[in-house]
Amino acid sequence: MAAIARARASATALIPQSKLRLSLAVYIVLARYDDHLALYRQEQIFRQRHGIEIPRQQMVQWIEPLAQSLLPIYEALWQAMKAGDYLQIDETPVKVLDPEVRGKAAQGYLGFYSVPHAEVILEFCDSRGQQAPRQRLDGFQGTIQTDAYEVYAALARKNPAPQRLGCLAHARLRFHQALQESVSEALGFIGQIRALYRIEDQARTLSPSERQPIRQEHAPPLDAVVCWCTAFWISTCTSQPMRHGLQSLQG
Rounded Cα gap, residues 86 and 146, in angstroms? 11
Whether the model clears a pTM of 0.85, i.e. scores above it, the answer is no
Rounded Cα gap, residues 230 and 227, in angstroms? 5
The residue among 67 and 187 whose pLDDT is bigger is 67
Phi, psi of 122 (to 5 degrees): -120, 145
Beta bridge partners of 164: 144
pLDDT band (50, 70, 90) for residue 181: confident
Q: What is the DSSP letter of 105?
A: P
In percent, the amount of the chain with pLDDT more than 90 equals 43
Tell me what pLDDT residue 4 has.
Answer: 43
pLDDT in tens, 99-148: 777 778 888 999 999 998 899 999 999 888 889 999 999 889 899 998 87
* C-alpha triplet 70, 113, 96: angle, nearest 5°: 70
By the 10 Å C-beta count (0-12 exposed, 13-18 middle, 19+ buried), 193 is classed as: buried
Assign 3-class secondary structure to the chain: CHHHHHHHHHCCCCCCCCCCCHHHHHHHHHHHHCCCCCHHHHHHHHHHHHCCCCCHHHHHHHHHHHHHHHHHHHHHHHHHHHCCCEEEEEEEEEEECCCCCCCCCEEEEEEEEECCCCCEEEEEECCCCCHHHHHHCCCCCCEEECCCCHHHHHHHHHCCCCEEECCHHHHHHHHHHHHHCCCCCHHHHHHHHHHHHHHHHHCCCCCHHHHHHHHHHHCCCHHHHHHHHHHHHHHHCCCHHHHHHHHHHHC
Tell me the residue length of the chain: 251
Mean pLDDT for 65-84 is 94
Least confident stretch, 41-55, 80-94, 124-138, 227-241: 227-241
Mean pLDDT for 95-101 is 80
Beta bridge partners of 187: none
What is the number of alpha carbons within 13 Å of residue 184 lying toward its C-beta? 0
Q: Are strands 86-96 and 106-114 parallel, antiparallel or unpaired?
A: antiparallel
Residue 111 near residue 126 (C-beta atoms within 8 A):
no
The pLDDT of residue 151 is above 70? yes
Rounded Cα gap, residues 129 and 59, in angstroms? 32
| CA 179 to chain CA centroid, nearest Å | 28
| Structural element, H or E, at residue 232 | helix 222-236
Residue ranges of domains in the chain, CATH in brackets: 2-70 (no CATH), 84-98+105-165 (3.30.420.10), 168-250 (no CATH)
pLDDT in tens, 21-50: 999 999 999 999 999 999 999 999 999 999
